[in-house]
Structure 1
Amino acid sequence: MLALFKSSRFYLAVALTLFCSLLGSFLASFPYLQVIGALVLALVLGMVLQLFQPVVNQAKVGIGFISNKFLRLGIILLGFKLNLVDLAQAGVKTILLAIFVVTGTILLTYNLARKFGVNQQLALLAASGTGICGAAAIMGISPQLPVTPEQEEQKREDEVLAVAIVAILGTVFTLIDLGLKPLLHMTPQQFGVMTGGSLHEIAHAVAAGSAGGPVSLDTAIITKLSRVLLLAPAALIIGLWYHRKNHIGSADGQHKLPIPWFMGGFILASIVGTFLPLGAAVLAALVKLAYLFLGMAMAALGMSVNFRVILQRGGKAFGAATISSFVLLAFVIVVSKTFF
């Protein structure tokens, strides 16, 4: 580890991924790119860097570290975005909706994907991204799915493919939600519940929810963050199920119980951010730092993908996620009109 930090190639990887993360955040401030989100843009910029293959090859020594460790640090800091008091004030209905949405969407997407012949890991990652909170959920669940060294490359491809699926579908369904708005005759709160409950990324919920005014936007954010809160328990449950399903650790004892300790940091950060008087400016800075580290991890992932394989394997997973996204939208529309 010490040798890694002394390597100039490691700092080259840091510089390249930092550049992608900062540029992704800047580009995400433009109206037409805001709906895509900074994380997905950082991933795309990392892919673009593959055009400069000699430079990327020089940086490979640090890419794995950044995509792993910086990812965990970013997810921990993302906990400062969650205000537990606001979530509690949202009421039991919002929390119950989040539980139904996350559980039902993950189960539906996973089972559809498996019936379509998608491999287990990609099915789980696509399901988690669709059901919880897009790219951040995919990268949060991924460490719970251990693979052999020979399977690492395919796992990175699955991560990128899952992120691409939720990014495309999230953008498409943001436009669908906006198109449905004048047809559904919803109150601002109902429209906020619909967007926060059905869309994939936080950026998607913000972009669509803002079209309904300030009440709709606040409701969309709270509803979406209720789903984000379930990332930690979902990571634990999926990890336990995956280990048991694949008999990992049952014979040789080499794999420990898949307790995602960085998710504990995520919950701790949300507790600290909620109950300690850090101030709005400090919390905003910590959340920006979270997206900076997550963006660097996404860029590192983009720098190490195989485009041809992704294009070959993406169709069936995309189809499963599309079907479940339509089912999710229909369910949330009914619930929001009936109970909110």
Structure 2
Amino acid sequence: MWVVLTGAVVSLVINHFVPVLSALTVAVLLGVLIPVHADLRLVTRRFLRAGVVLLGLQLSLSEVTSLGFGTVVAVVVTVLTAFFGTLALARWIGVSRGLGLMVATGFSICGASAIVAMDSVARTDKEDVAASVTLVTLYGTAAIALVPLIGSGMGSEFLGKWAGLSVHEVAQVVAAASPAGAAAVGIAVVVKLTRVVLLAPIVAGVGFFQRQDGPKPPVVPLFVVGFLVMVLLRSTGILPPVVLDGAKLGTTVLLAAAMFGLGTTVRLRQVLRSGRRGLVLGALSTVLVGAVAFGTLMVAG
């Protein structure tokens, strides 16, 4: 346990000095690069599940409804189109099913945390998980520069919504929306966290189909149910700000610890097998998410 916690703390320190790199990204890279001989799979799974549960305290139902019906529709359409569209692109390009599923999940919902949550119900290689996290990092970082550049003529509210709908990681969303001001950042984060809510039904759907063939994972993992319960608890308004701030930090620490543990299971040579096809899939998925998000916002948001 102390090994993964140490990795999480180091990743938070690096993130503090290099904010463009999310703590989760740094953590998985440290896990890949630092030789660790202990078996960390059990503790990694526990930290991941606890982190996803606490993530629910970052969003309330009132924040979702404040976006307006059209924006919520845009979120749902964008996530579903990006998820199933990326799966189709993966088949067309010829990448493995596992990598295609992980990229579809991470790019359409919430980056690394969505990827490792989906891994709990899907039968995928750890190398596919790590490769998809790498792709999320690469293209999410590129979006930090491209979103404000492309959206320079948009209003701050529209750009905030577009950043929240199209950029992969929460930290990357904040960075992409920052040039448009604090109001844009606030809207972007709420839109992004609304995307996160869709993690539950998508993981449940994949879990259901996984049960049809082979080992039978739970249709909806308990930690995903816990995430939804935390959203409802936050929505009651009974939790003081100090608790919510502590939960936010705790979420980052737990998920960073899980990502470090995941990284220790990875062998770089196997990750690199995704090669050019993985890069192409990441690029096409990023364009798909951005284009669908822009189009749905223009129509409905």
Residue range with higher mean Cα deviation, 117-126 or 161-170: 117-126
What is the deviation of 1:243?
3.3
One of 246, 251, 258 as aligned partner of 2:219: 258
Q: Which residue of the partner structure matches residue 150 of structure 2?
A: 180
One of 258, 261, 264 as aligned partner of 1:303: 264
Alignment of 1:83-162 (within 5 A): 83-146=60-123, 155-162=125-132
What is the deviation of 1:303?
1.3
The DSSP-based 3-state class of the residue aligned with 1:34 is coil
Kept in 2, the 8 Å contact 1:174–1:208? The answer is yes
Task: Tell me, yes or no, if structure 1 residue 237 matches structure 2 residue 176.
Answer: no
Task: Tell me, yes or no, if structure 1 residue 287 matches structure 2 residue 248.
Answer: yes
One of 189, 200, 215 as aligned partner of 2:183: 215
Q: Which residue of the partner structure matches residue 168 of structure 1?
A: 138
Kept in 2, the 8 Å contact 1:186–1:337? The answer is no
Deviations 1:184-230 (A, max 9, x none): x1111011011111100111111111210122111111111110111
Kept in 2, the 8 Å contact 1:239–1:258? The answer is yes
What is the deviation of 1:314?
3.6
Unaligned runs of at least 5 residues, structure 2: none
The DSSP-based 3-state class of the residue aligned with 1:118 is coil
Paired with 1:262 and 1:339, the residues of 2 have a C-alpha distance of 32
Kept in 1, the 8 Å contact 2:90–2:100? The answer is yes
Kept in 2, the 8 Å contact 1:127–1:321? The answer is no
One of 18, 23, 28 as aligned partner of 2:10: 23
Residue range with higher mean Cα deviation, 313-322 or 199-208: 313-322
What is the deviation of 1:25?
1.4
Among all aligned residue pairs of Structure 1 and Structure 2, give the percentage whose two residues are the same amino acid. 28
**AA in 2 matched with 1:94:** T
Q: Which residue of the partner structure matches residue 20 of structure 2?
A: 35
Deviations 1:20-73 (A, max 9, x none): 11121122123xx322211011111112212xxxxx21xx23x11122111111
Unaligned runs of at least 5 residues, structure 1: 1-13, 51-55, 148-154, 250-254
Instruction: Give me the TM-score of the superposition, normalised by structure 2.
Output: 0.95
Q: Which residue of the partner structure matches residue 51 of structure 2?
A: 74
Q: Which residue of the partner structure matches residue 152 of structure 1?
A: none
Paired with 1:109 and 1:64, the residues of 2 have a C-alpha distance of 28
Kept in 2, the 8 Å contact 1:94–1:226? The answer is no
Q: Which residue of the partner structure matches residue 53 of structure 1?
A: none
The DSSP-based 3-state class of the residue aligned with 1:29 is helix
**AA in 1 matched with 2:173:** A
What is the deviation of 1:110?
1.1
- Asked which structure has the greater CA Rg, the reply is 1
Kept in 2, the 8 Å contact 1:199–1:205? The answer is yes
What is the deviation of 1:256?
5.2
Instruction: Give me the TM-score of the superposition, normalised by structure 1.
Output: 0.84
**AA in 2 matched with 1:24:** S
- For these two proteins, the number of residue pairs brought into alignment is 301
What is the deviation of 1:321?
2.3
